[in-house]
Structure 1
Amino acid sequence: MIETLIPAEACASEAFGPDGSAVLYPQEAALVAAATNERREEFTTVRGCARRALAALGLPPAPVLPGKRNVPRWPAGVVGSMTHCSGYRAAVLARDTDLMAVGIDAEPHRPLPRGVLEAIALREELAWARTPVAGAAPFHRDRLLFSAKEAVYKTWYPLVGTELEFEDALISFHEDSPGDTLEADPGGTPAAGTRAGTFRARVLRPGTAPGGHPVTAFTGRWTVHRGLVATAITVPARPPSATAATAGRDGDTAAGTDGGVGHPGR
């Protein structure tokens, strides 16, 4: 699922349940020694995903330990992001010569708890999230908005190194036409209940990436599939004259001259 949201330069690994083959390094195991079984399982499985993604990059396995603000500390020369929620774990990694930053998030596709939407959404976002959606299958726009804001923060913090509140990013969404749907059955028909598209986050607080490049916007991809919402942003490593931030297979960009606090280590 997550691989449909990222460019070819990135490597992804995901799991829809416990991974009995994943093993923790002693340093990692110490972090969850007192945790619940559920927490240890998700912690272990998502690190198994990360090590498979490292292998896909041609790199040896390594422990993944939390750094400042719980941002994963990747091996030298690697950027990446991890996420986990009920029934899903994933990691996306890339070499820093290809991508400057990665932020992914996954959530269960169900409504946000009461009051959360109002706490995270700007006026325009709130109006969009509350607009009725045509179609027989439920589409919880509030959860998609939350996931996109998580992906924004998980991209922003490792890149810029400063905090970002939910209200510091204004997000707009575009849905692919049925013919552009990423998930399809073997006959090419979009899978039941699947939605996909792009999103754009305009950052309302100034920030600067390494090298002094302004970061004012991100674009990413999203999908709703198998009862899950997933979002992803990638920022390419480009010359100083190039775009500050971009994401997705379709090459959408957000010019650096254009113009939520989440859990970066999830």
Structure 2
Amino acid sequence: MIAEILPASVVVEAAYDDPPQARLEPAEEAVVAKAVETRRREFTTVRHCARLALGRLGVPYRPLVPGLRGAPSWPDGVIGSMTHCAGYRAAAVARPGDLASLGVDAEPALALPEGVLEAIALPGEQERIGKLLAELPHLPWDRLLFSAKEAVYKAWFPLTGLFLEFAEADITLDPDGTFHAVLLVPGPVVGGRTVGAFDGRWIVRDGLLATAIAVPAAE
């Protein structure tokens, strides 16, 4: 699913269940030694996806131990992003020469719990979501916004090493399957140019939704 909204240069592996052959390296095992079973399965399977994706890219696997703010430590010469939710896990990887950064997120295609939209969305975003819900009520626009915010952060963090608040990116979702995120703080510098916005894509299918951002490498 996520592969459909990313450039062809990105290698994606996904799973809709937890395959029995999925395994962890000892350093990864230590991270989830005391985790509940659901968390452990998600953690294991998404790294199984990453192992397969890196293999297709021709890169040996190394333990993907969460680092600062939980971001995985990808092997040298690789950029990547992972996501997992109920019924879906995916890893996306690429070479730095093709892209500067990646951000992917998947969620159940359900409306957000009451009060969450107001907590994560700017007033203008709330207004736009309200209009979209009125015009196309069969789509979970509020959850799509939340997912897009997650994708923005995942694309932002490897370029800056800084936290990004929900209110520091103003996102416009379009019914054509795209979205535009304007950064409200100084953007990262990529190849000598300051990036002030991210463009992404979204998809909804079979009870799931996904968002993805591929930040172009410097020309």
TM range (shorter): over 0.9
Q: Go from structure 1 to structure 2 and tell me whether the alpha carbon gap of 1:143 and 1:124 turns closer, same or farther (over 3 Å shift).
A: same
Q: Which residue of 1 aligns with 2:10?
A: 10
1:43-87 Cα offsets, whole Å, 9 max, x none, are: 000000101110111122221111111111000000000001111
3-state SS in 2 of match to 1:107:
strand
Task: Give the C-alpha shift of residue 32 in structure 1.
Answer: 0.6
Check the 8 A contact 1:160/1:210 in 2, yes or no: no
Q: Which residue of 1 aligns with 2:151?
A: 151
The 2-side partners of 1:38 and 1:52 are apart by 21
Q: Go from structure 1 to structure 2 and tell me whether the alpha carbon gap of 1:25 and 1:217 turns closer, same or farther (over 3 Å shift).
A: same
Query: TM-score when scaled to structure 2?
Result: 0.95
Q: Which residue of 1 aligns with 2:94?
A: 94
Task: Give the C-alpha shift of residue 210 in structure 1.
Answer: 5.0
Q: Percent identity?
A: 54
The 2-side partners of 1:128 and 1:207 are apart by 24
Find the partner of 2:208 among 191, 210, 228.
228
Task: Give the C-alpha shift of residue 152 in structure 1.
Answer: 0.3
Task: Give the C-alpha shift of residue 19 in structure 1.
Answer: 1.8
Check the 8 A contact 1:103/1:154 in 2, yes or no: yes
Q: Does 1:238 align with 2:208?
A: no
More helix by share: 2
Q: Does 1:48 align with 2:28?
A: no
The 1-side partners of 2:12 and 2:152 are apart by 18
Task: Give the C-alpha shift of residue 173 in structure 1.
Answer: 1.7
Q: Which residue of 2 aligns with 1:140?
A: 140
Q: Which residue of 1 aligns with 2:195?
A: 215
Check the 8 A contact 1:174/1:198 in 2, yes or no: yes
3-state SS in 1 of match to 2:159:
helix
Gap regions ≥5 residues in structure 2: none
Tell me the C-alpha RMSD between the 2 structures: 1.4
In the TM superposition, structure 1's runs of 4+ consecutive aligned residues that sit over 6 Å from their partners are none
3-state SS in 2 of match to 1:47:
helix
3-state SS in 1 of match to 2:142:
helix
- Residues paired across the two proteins, number: 218
3-state SS in 2 of match to 1:220:
strand
Q: Which residue of 1 aligns with 2:186?
A: 206
Check the 8 A contact 2:190/2:217 in 1, yes or no: no
Q: Which residue of 2 aligns with 1:105?
A: 105
Query: TM-score when scaled to structure 1?
Result: 0.79
The 2-side partners of 1:56 and 1:94 are apart by 10
3-state SS in 2 of match to 1:73:
coil
Check the 8 A contact 2:156/2:188 in 1, yes or no: no
